[in-house]
Chains A and B, each alone.
Chain A
Amino acid sequence: MLKIEPRPQPSKQMAYLSPLIAVGLTLVTGVIFSLLVGLNPLSAFHAFFISPIDDLYGLGELGVKAAPLMLIAVGLAIGFRSNVWNIGAEGQLTFGAICGGGLALYFYEVESAWILPIMILGGAVGGMLWASIPAFLRTRFNTNEILVSLMLNYVAILLLSYLVHDPWRDPDGFNFPESRLFSDSALLPVVLEGTRLHLGIIIALIAVVLGWIFVRKSFVGYQMQVAGLADLAALYAGFKRKRMVWIGLLVGGGAAGIAGLCEVAGPIGQLLPSVSPGYGYAAIIVAFVGRLHPIGILLASLLMSLLYLGGESAQMDLGLPSAITGVFQGVLLFYLLGADLFINFRVKITKTVATRSVGEVAS
Chain B
Amino acid sequence: MRLMNISKLLLISTAGVMSAILSLAALGADSLKIGFVYVSPIGDAGWTYQHDQGRLQMEEALGGKVETKYIESVPEGGESERVIRQFATDGYGLVFTTSFGYMNPTIKVAKQFPKVVFEHATGYKSAKNVGTYVARFYEGRYLAGIVAGKMTKSNVAGYVAAFPIPEVLRGINAFTLGMRSVNPDATVKVIWVNSWFDPGREREAADVFIAQGADVVTHHTDSTAVVQAAEEAGVWSVGYHSDMSKYGPKSHLTAATHHWGDYYTKVAEEVMGGNWASTDIWWGIKEGMIKLAPLNQAVPEDVAKHVAEKEAAIKDGSLHPFQGPIKNQAGEEVVAAGTALTDEDLLKMEWYVEGVEGKLPK
Specify which of A161, A272, A321 is in contact with B72 (CB 8 Å cutoff). Answer: A321
B89 at the interface (CB under 8 A from A): yes
Q: Which residues of A contact B347 (CB under 8 A)?
A: 174
Closest A residue to B13 by beta carbon equals A54
User: A322 to B11, Cβ gap below 8 A?
Assistant: no
Question: Total contacts A to B, CB within 8 angstroms?
Answer: 87
Does B278 interact with chain A (Cβ within 8 Å)?
no
Find out whether the CB atom of A312 lies under 8 angstroms from the CB atom of B69.
no
Question: Would you give the shortest CB distance from B85 to chain A, in whole angstroms?
Answer: 7
- Write out the residue numbers on chain A whose beta carbons fall within 8 Å of the beta carbon of B350: 175
- A165 close to B19 (CB less than 8 A): no
Q: Point out the residues of chain A lying under 8 angstroms from B277, CB to CB.
A: none
Give A269 to B11 CA distance when docked, in angstroms.
34
Is A165's CB under 8 angstroms from B361's CB? yes
Q: Please indicate which of the listed interface residues B75, B78, B100, B101 has the most CB atoms of chain A within 10 Å of its own CB.
A: B78
Task: Determine the residue in chain A with the shortest Cβ distance to B70.
Answer: A315
Contacts known (A174-B347, A269-B104, A322-B72); A46 close to B85, Cβ less than 8 A? no
Q: How many residues of A contact B (CB 8 A)?
A: 38
On chain A, the residues within 8 Å of B165 by CB distance are: 174-177
Is A205 interfacial (CB-CB < 8 Å)? Answer: no
A64 contacts which chain B residues (CB < 8 A)?
A: 82
B18 at the interface (CB under 8 A from A): yes
A134 → chain B, closest Cβ, in Å?
26
B166 to chain A: closest CB distance in Å?
A: 6
Check A268 against B166 for contact (C-beta < 8 Å): no
Given contacts A165-B361, A315-B71, A322-B73, contact A57 B16 (CB under 8 A): no
- Complex Cα–Cα for A53 and B12 (A): 8
A274 touches B75 (CB 8 A): yes
Is the Cβ of B69 less than 8 Å from the Cβ of A316?
yes
Does A322 lie within 8 Å of B71, measured CB to CB?
A: yes
Q: Is the beta-carbon distance between B166 and A174 smaller than 8 angstroms?
A: yes
Asked whether A316 lies within 8 Å of B101 as measured between CB atoms, the reply is: no
- Distance from A40 Cβ to chain B, minimum over Cβ atoms (Å): 13
Residues of A within 8 A of B41 (CB): 321-323
Cβ-based interface call for A340 (8 A): no
A51 interface hit (Cβ, 8 Å): yes
Chain A 25-56 residues near chain B, CB threshold 8 A: 46, 50-51, 53-55
Q: Which of B11, B16, B69, B194 contacts A319 (CB 8 A)?
A: B69
Known A177-B165, A267-B78; contact A161-B71, beta-carbon cutoff 8 A = no
B124 CB within 8 Å of chain A: yes
Chain A residues with CB below 8 A from B86, complex form: 312-313, 316
Q: Collect the chain B residues with CB atoms within 8 Å of residue A319's CB.
A: 69
Check A57 against B85 for contact (C-beta < 8 Å): yes
CB contacts (< 8 Å) of A274 on chain B: these are 75-77
A266–B108 Cα gap in the complex (Å)? Answer: 13
Does A263 belong to the interface (CB within 8 Å)? Answer: yes
Residue among B15, B73, B348 making CB contact with A46, cutoff 8 Å: B15
Find out whether the CB atom of A181 lies under 8 angstroms from the CB atom of B104.
yes
Chain B residues with CB under 8 A of A309: 82
Q: Cβ of A50: which chain B residues have Cβ within 8 Å of it?
A: 11-12, 14-15
The interface residues of chain A lying within 8 Å CB-to-CB of B166 are 174-175
How would residues 337 to 358 of chain B score, 1 for a CB under 8 Å from any chain A CB and 0 otherwise? Answer: 0000000000110100000000
> Do B81 and A267 touch (CB < 8 A)?
yes
- The answer for the CA separation of A249 and B75 in the assembled complex, in Å, is 29
B79 interface hit (Cβ, 8 Å): yes
In the complex, A313 Cα to B71 Cα: how many Å? 9
Pairwise interchain contact A272-B71, C-beta atoms closer than 8 A = no
B359 at the interface (CB under 8 A from A): no
Is the pair B82, A61 in contact by a Cβ cutoff of 8 Å?
A: yes
- Nearest B-chain residue to A263, judged by Cβ: B78
Interface centre among A161, A196, A316 (most CB of B within 10 A): A316
Q: How far is the CA of A171 from the CA of B166 in the complex (A)?
A: 14
Q: In angstroms, how far is the closest chain A Cβ from the Cβ of B79?
A: 6
Q: Which residues from 140 to 194 on chain A have a C-beta closer than 8 Å to any C-beta of chain B? A: 161, 165-166, 174-177, 181
Alpha-carbon distance A16/B362, docked complex (angstroms): 55
- B266-318 contacts to A (CB < 8 Å): none
**Which residues of the other chain, B, contact A277 by a CB distance below 8 angstroms?**
75, 79
Given the interface contacts A274-B75, A322-B41, does A176 sit within 8 Å of B81 by beta carbon? no
Assess whether A270 is interfacial by the CB under 8 Å rule: yes
Please give, as numbers and ranges, the residues of chain A lying within 8 Å of B18 by CB-CB distance: 46
Partner of A312, one of B16, B76, B78, B83: B83
- A188–B89 Cα distance when bound, in Å, is 24
Cα distance A153–B41 in the bound complex, in angstroms: 25
Inter-subunit contact A166/B15 (CB<8 Å): no
Chain A residues with CB below 8 A from B348, complex form: 174-175
Name the interface residues of B80-121: CB closer than 8 Å to any CB of A: 81-83, 85-87, 89-90, 100-101, 104
A175-B348, A177-B163 known; 19 new pairs, CB 8 Å cut-off, are A50-B12, A50-B15, A54-B15, A57-B89, A64-B82, A161-B194, A165-B163, A174-B165, A263-B78, A267-B77, A267-B78, A267-B81, A272-B76, A274-B77, A277-B75, A277-B79, A312-B83, A316-B71, A316-B86
Can you list 19 A-B contacts with CB-CB less than 8 angstroms, sorted by A residue number? A50-B12, A51-B19, A53-B12, A54-B15, A161-B194, A165-B164, A166-B362, A174-B166, A177-B165, A181-B104, A263-B78, A267-B78, A272-B77, A274-B75, A274-B76, A309-B82, A312-B83, A313-B86, A322-B41
Closest 6 CB pairs of A and B: A267-B78, A54-B15, A268-B78, A322-B73, A50-B15, A272-B77
